[in-house]
Amino acid sequence: MPATTASPLASVTRLLLELGGEAESQLEIAIETLSKRDLKLAFEVISHNVRLEELHDRIKDESIDILSGDLDKTLVRENLAIVKAASHLKRIGEHAANIAKRLQTASGLLPVTPAAQLTRLGLLARQILSECLDAYTRRDRKAATTASRHDREMDDLYSSLLQDLLQHIAADRTHVAVGSEMLFIAKGLERIGDHARSIASVVPDLTGGGK
């Protein structure tokens, strides 16, 4: 586990784990909003983002205080890894909130087939986030590498969705507006996967540095 109760990083590590849990929950609700087209859930996703921002700010403030102390290089490296991971989790929350906002506009108009593909993309993003956070928590380099290998799967699914959306829009120009919203949602889900993999990339900093 990252940091012990006696470590100067114990508090900030605890905050990061809480932030990770909040980000997972927010993404889960965003995906449920997409699959159920439930606008009440969309409001929940957006309001949820406030808590993520609060946790991120606390981590940043505590990390600055920690760095002002007398730490060895290992603890400094771990502290910086926590700050990096927190930044990516904050961005994941922002993307989830933006997805919910897009759904508020387009929910009742989403074509069935592309919407189902969006849900699959969201489920993959959630899987990547869960695996990357688990690898981070366990300081498991092998698991971090495995989680990061979803790149191709995510890219293939994203590319397929883009092609279907463009064909859908071309077949009926009245779908341009809703198609544009779906493109933004798809891009947001892809970016969530990117940020999750970036969290996995800092695991070496928790295990002695290096690749």
Whole-number pLDDT of residue 107: 61
- What value does the mean pLDDT of the chain take? 87
pLDDT at position 184 is 92
Arithmetic mean of pLDDT, 39-52: 89
pLDDT of residue 75: 87
CA dist 101 and 69 (Å) reads 42
Radius of gyration of the chain (CA): 19
What is each CA distance from 197 to 103, 144, 156, 176, 191, in whole angstroms? 25, 8, 16, 32, 10
Q: What pLDDT shows up at residue 37? A: 79
Instruction: Write out pLDDT tens, residues 166-189.
Output: 887 888 777 788 888 888 999 999
| 4 confidence band (pLDDT: 50, 70, 90) | very low
Closest CA to 23 of 128, 104, 144, 103: 128
Of residues 69 and 158, the one with the higher pLDDT is 158
Its pTM stands at 0.88
Weakest mean pLDDT among 43-57, 58-72, 84-98 = 58-72
Determine contact, residues 137/2, Cβ cutoff 8 Å: yes
pLDDT at 113 over 90: no
Residue 121 structure tokens: 């993309």
pLDDT value at position 116? 83
Query: Among 97, 53, 127, 85, which Cα is nearest to 188's?
Result: 97
What SS3 class is residue 7? Answer: coil
pLDDT digits (tens, 9 = 90+) for 14-40: 999 999 999 999 999 999 988 887 888
